[in-house]
Chains A and B, each alone.
Chain A
Amino acid sequence: MSMIDFQVIAASGEVSLFPLHLLGMFFGSLGLVFFLGAAVGLIRFPDFYTRMHAAGKGDTLSTMLMLTGFGLVTMEDFSLGSWLLFVKIMGVVLFIFIASPTVSHVLMRAASEDDEMPLTEADGKKSSNKGKKRN
């Protein structure tokens, strides 16, 4: 649906859905920003647990925001089919809201039982000493 269609709808006296679509686009862009944060954290963090912190939070929130945004954007009218589609997308959002923290928990538990140690202050001192020796 293009900009002209919105003007036609607004001129014909029906309810314009343009604010709703604008809100959806705002949610989608916000989700993209959060996914950027998750991707940067996944690359730059030094440790598995910190990477999981970035990926778990950023991935969950960005997926929920993007799906909500696309649920709002794809609403063309307030008919029953349109509402059903929105409710389905919100069902995916609810599932991800439950499933993604569960996956984070299970992975963290598996890693911690595998004696995967988090970085400590001693590790930071060791690596900085190594850097000094190299210099």
Chain B
Amino acid sequence: MIEYFAIVMGAALLVLMIPVFYRIWVGPTSYDRILGVNVIGTKTAVLLVVIGTLYDRVDMFVDFAIAYALLSFVTAIVVSRYLNRTISQKEMETREKKAGT
């Protein structure tokens, strides 16, 4: 019964990831895309635990899930900080232009 439950959960997770992929594909701003990537990354950690339940090796797959969650978190933080830095550099340039004129 647990195997059927895990199969149904994994399939439903994959199907529900399609709308998030749509948002990554068409997202008007880059922030929408990072948001979608973050959602997919968090849900992939859950999917790893589901796969571990199916293979009956959850003790191994939980470590993968921990590593993947950490990696996804760091990726989202780094990309948003990078965008933030480029923005502040742009602002600095405009301020310098204003001060120059």
Contact = CB atoms under 8 A, between A and B. Distances in A.
A38 B39 contact: yes
B83 interface: yes
Contacts of B81: 106, 110
B46 A66 contact: yes
A40 B80 CA distance: 24
Interface in B36-85: 36, 38-39, 42-43, 45-46, 49-50, 52-53, 58-59, 62-63, 65-66, 69-70, 73, 76-77, 80-81, 83-84
A103 B38 contact: yes
Contacts of A128: none
A107 B36 contact: no
A96 B42 contact: yes
Contacts of B29: 48, 111, 116
A135 B97 CA distance: 46
Chain A: number of interface residues, binned into ranges: 35 or more
Interface in A23-39: 25, 28, 32, 35-36, 38-39
Contacts of A81: 59
Main secondary structure of the interface of B (DSSP, over half): helix
Contacts of A103: 38, 73, 76-77, 80
Interface of A: 1-3, 21, 25, 28, 32, 35-36, 38-40, 42-43, 48, 51-52, 55, 59, 63, 66-67, 70, 73-74, 81, 84-85, 88-89, 91-92, 95-96, 99-100, 102-103, 106-107, 109-111, 113-114, 116
Given A39-B17, A70-B58, A107-B31, 20 more contacts: A32-B9, A32-B13, A38-B39, A39-B16, A39-B20, A40-B19, A42-B20, A42-B35, A43-B22, A51-B32, A66-B46, A67-B45, A70-B50, A85-B58, A85-B62, A92-B49, A99-B69, A103-B77, A106-B80, A109-B80
